[in-house]
Amino acid sequence: MSPTSIWSQYRDELANDPLLVLGFTAALIALATTPLAVAVLGRMDWFKARRGRVLQRPSFASIIIGTMLVMSIPAIFAAMVLKSRSFDRNRYEFDPNRTWSVVEQGRIYDDAVKLDAAVKEEYKRISLERKNLVENVKKLDTAMLALRAVAGTSPAVAQRLPAVLQTLAGIRKSVGVDGPQQLEDFTAPPADLRAMAAEMPVAPVAAPAPGFAVATSVPVGDGLTPVQVEAELATVPEPQRGLAAMLPLSGLPAGWTVGKSGEKHLETFNAENLYEKIDGRAESFIQYGVKGMAYAFYHPTGDPSNELQVYIFEMADPLKAMGKYGSEKPEEFQTVAVGDQGYTTAGSTLFYASRYYTQIVSTADDPKFAAFALDLARRVAARQKPGKAGAAAPSVAAAPEPADEAAETETKPAETKAKPAAAEVTPATYFGLLPAADRDGEPKYVAQDAFGYSFLSDVFMADYKAGGTTWQGFLRPYRDADEAKAVFQKYIEGVKKDGARVDKITADGADEIVVSSNIGLVDVVFRKGNTLAGANGATERAPAEAFAKALAKSLPGKVPLMGQ
């Protein structure tokens, strides 16, 4: 190698890593100049040591050993620099994410027999791990089935569940599980030829059973025939039969089919076994006095990959139906005119009408599904509240025929006909008592623990805003004035216990009215007759006091209760 090439290589290395090359150069210089330095210093009597008054020269061996020790420092550094330019991969490389196989670790085994035994043992361990993985995937499948049952009443979850199941299908394939979970049970039951023959468009050979009508065949996409609907309803327990009759099972738009749950097209549940369908959420419905639930689902003809699921809940009264409806309303929705109040979101439609709360949940955010969901909602609402929007929904099983109604009307005395019907009291009645001016958003119903008070439940309220001041206007009617007075006293005792300042004032129409202030917020609460009302959580006193006084003046002396 010529000096020119050495110098060129040195310049290249210096340009790439100047610090390392300069250190290496200094080490070589120190290594080369150390013997010269020892020789020069020896000639200058540098190594002579004083022993008393005599200077003694060190031995030759000690000088050589000292020189070697000094030269070892740059030598070791230069060797480390040279070694850093390359390394033994098997000795120095370490990857924490890599698992070394038995063969790669074979150097620890004395012979091929021991290596073979180690390989077999490792195979047993891997087989056991795979078995555990398969069992855990099966357990995950079971959990996903329960999750799907719960997600059926949540549009957002129901639409994301198919993608999750598709991801799990890839995991099953990797571990060798051949039975991926499906949204539908595609195992066909044995064909019942007699039932198929009964549905053929032929004339019946015998008179139908009482209560069942003879119907012609209807295309599959149009739903069930009236005969099939009657047969399904005949298997439903009497308490839920009227509820099940609200499910639209026939006369569907072309291209839609009623799904089948086992051997039936509908399912019904009561409060005791509701958990079988919506395990994990049944308790929240029981808190609102649920009496029963009817269920059916629909999907495009020939395409069961997505579906519309219809849940009709019968609650204790219209108030509980509205409360449950309001508690599950999302932040983003589009209001629709169906039932007493309804909204659409992500292709689904949910509403309440009278004492019924209906969820029509779509697994696909698709305009086709959204249009059909809204159509189903209107059909269900029409059966829940026929005629006037405020009429109570009669039980289908006990509903009289039109002819019977006409005959009854003809036999009634004239004075009975002239008697005006009392207006039905609904949640809308109470919301209508709250002022519309300065209202910020839709009114709300709070079933329990309103404003953090355990004694204050079934409260009707709305948010208000005037200028920069916000507050919540509310009212709560009770059975009588004594009950309202007792709750009013609990309120005063509660705010005083929390350290609030309470001032009594007067207002036109109010039996009692107080202003309480604490931590920068003001409440103005009054009692009038059987009603407790006022403004809560105002940031300033004047607007809240003006609101409460106006509400006290406008409220009737006795607010009627629902169901009376």
Predicted confidence (pLDDT) per residue in 171-194, tens digit: 766 766 654 444 333 344 444 444
Predicted confidence (pLDDT) per residue in 61-97, tens digit: 877 888 888 888 888 888 888 877 765 555 555 566 6
Q: Are both 253 and 351 inside the same structural domain?
A: yes
Q: Per mean pLDDT, which range of 164-173, 175-184, 329-338 is the poorest? A: 175-184
Q: Are both 242 and 352 inside the same structural domain?
A: yes
**Structure confidence at residue 551 (pLDDT):** 93
The whole-angstrom separation of Cα 387 and Cα 390 is: 8
**Structure confidence at residue 255 (pLDDT):** 87
> 């079933």: which residue's tokens?
447
**Structure confidence at residue 390 (pLDDT):** 38
SS3 assignment for 212-230? CCCCCCCCHHHECCHHHHH
Q: Are both 33 and 134 inside the same structural domain?
A: no
Which residues have a Cβ under 8 Å from the Cβ of 204 and sit 6 or more positions away?
214
Better pLDDT: 465 or 188:
465
In a domain, 146, yes or no: yes
Q: Per mean pLDDT, which range of 203-217, 355-369, 523-537 is the poorest? A: 203-217
**Is the pTM of the predicted complex or chain greater than 0.85?**
no
Please check the confidence at residue 356 and state whether its pLDDT lies above 90: yes
Q: Are both 163 and 238 inside the same structural domain?
A: no
Mean pLDDT of 464-481: 91
In a domain, 517, yes or no: yes
Please check the confidence at residue 412 and state whether its pLDDT lies above 60: no
Q: Are both 236 and 303 inside the same structural domain?
A: yes
CB 435 within 8 A of CB 466: no
In a domain, 39, yes or no: yes
Q: Are both 132 and 66 inside the same structural domain?
A: no
The whole-angstrom separation of Cα 392 and Cα 385 is: 6
Q: Are both 256 and 135 inside the same structural domain?
A: no
Domain count, the chain: 4
Q: Per mean pLDDT, which range of 29-43, 78-92, 118-132, 357-371 is the poorest? A: 78-92
Predicted confidence (pLDDT) per residue in 274-327, tens digit: 888 887 778 888 888 889 999 999 999 888 888 889 999 999 888 888 888 887
Please check the confidence at residue 474 and state whether its pLDDT lies above 90: yes
Mean pLDDT of 462-475: 91
Please check the confidence at residue 60 and state whether its pLDDT lies above 90: no
Q: What are phi and psi of 265, to 5 degrees?
A: -95, -5
**Structure confidence at residue 45 (pLDDT):** 67
**Structure confidence at residue 145 (pLDDT):** 65
Mean pLDDT computed over every residue of the chain: 77
Of 157, 164, 162, 163, the C-alpha closest to 346 is 157
Hey, which residues does 223 pair with through a beta bridge? 250
Domain residues for the domain of 503 are 427-554
Which residues have a Cβ under 8 Å from the Cβ of 269 and sit 6 or more positions away?
240, 276, 277, 292, 293, 295
The whole-angstrom separation of Cα 232 and Cα 221 is: 18
Mean pLDDT of 358-372: 90
> 């199941």: which residue's tokens?
165
**Structure confidence at residue 393 (pLDDT):** 37
**Structure confidence at residue 360 (pLDDT):** 92
**Structure confidence at residue 475 (pLDDT):** 93
Q: Are both 261 and 355 inside the same structural domain?
A: yes
Q: Per mean pLDDT, which range of 56-70, 94-108, 515-529 is the poorest? A: 94-108
Of 92, 127, 162, the position where a domain reaches its end is 92
Mean pLDDT of 520-537: 92
Better pLDDT: 12 or 197:
12
In a domain, 404, yes or no: no
> 């001032």: which residue's tokens?
503
CB 313 within 8 A of CB 240: no
**Structure confidence at residue 171 (pLDDT):** 75
In a domain, 406, yes or no: no
**Residues 480-483: contacts with CB under 8 Å, at least 24 apart:** 480/530, 481/511, 481/527, 481/529, 481/530, 483/530
Q: What are phi and psi of 310, to 5 degrees?
A: -110, 120
Please check the confidence at residue 530 and state whether its pLDDT lies above 80: yes
Torsion over CA of 505, 510, 511 and 516, rounded to 10 degrees?
A: -40
Please check the confidence at residue 513 and state whether its pLDDT lies above 90: yes
**Structure confidence at residue 152 (pLDDT):** 59
In a domain, 71, yes or no: yes
The whole-angstrom separation of Cα 434 and Cα 358 is: 27
Predicted confidence (pLDDT) per residue in 232-276, tens digit: 898 889 888 889 999 999 888 888 999 888 888 899 999 888 888
The whole-angstrom separation of Cα 413 and Cα 418 is: 9
Better pLDDT: 154 or 347:
347
In a domain, 296, yes or no: yes
With bands split at pLDDT 50, 70 and 90, how would you rate the model's confidence at 100?
low
**Structure confidence at residue 347 (pLDDT):** 87
Of 387, 306, 393, the C-alpha closest to 351 is 393
With bands split at pLDDT 50, 70 and 90, how would you rate the model's confidence at 519?
confident
CB atoms within 10 A of CB 58: 12
* CATH number for the domain that contains residue 436: 3.40.1000
**Structure confidence at residue 547 (pLDDT):** 93
With bands split at pLDDT 50, 70 and 90, how would you rate the model's confidence at 350?
very high
Better pLDDT: 67 or 473:
473
**DSSP string spanning 411-438?**
HS-HHHHHSPPPPPP-HHHHHHHS--TT
The whole-angstrom separation of Cα 269 and Cα 95 is: 58
**Structure confidence at residue 423 (pLDDT):** 67
Q: Are both 342 and 283 inside the same structural domain?
A: yes
Q: Are both 440 and 502 inside the same structural domain?
A: yes
Q: How far is CA 485 from CA 89, 238, 527, in A?
A: 87, 43, 7
CB 389 within 8 A of CB 352: no
The whole-angstrom separation of Cα 72 and Cα 59 is: 20
Give percent of the chain above pLDDT 70.
74
Q: What share of the chain is helix, strand, coil (3-state, %, to 5)?
A: 45, 20, 40
Q: Are both 63 and 145 inside the same structural domain?
A: no
**Structure confidence at residue 62 (pLDDT):** 79
In a domain, 191, yes or no: no
Burial string for 301-319 (b: 16+ CB within 10 Å, else e) reads: eeebebbbbbbbbbbebbb
The whole-angstrom separation of Cα 564 and Cα 560 is: 7
Better pLDDT: 265 or 39:
265
Please check the confidence at residue 391 and state whether its pLDDT lies above 50: no
Of 461, 465, 392, the C-alpha closest to 431 is 461
Q: Are both 146 and 79 inside the same structural domain?
A: no
CB 522 within 8 A of CB 481: no
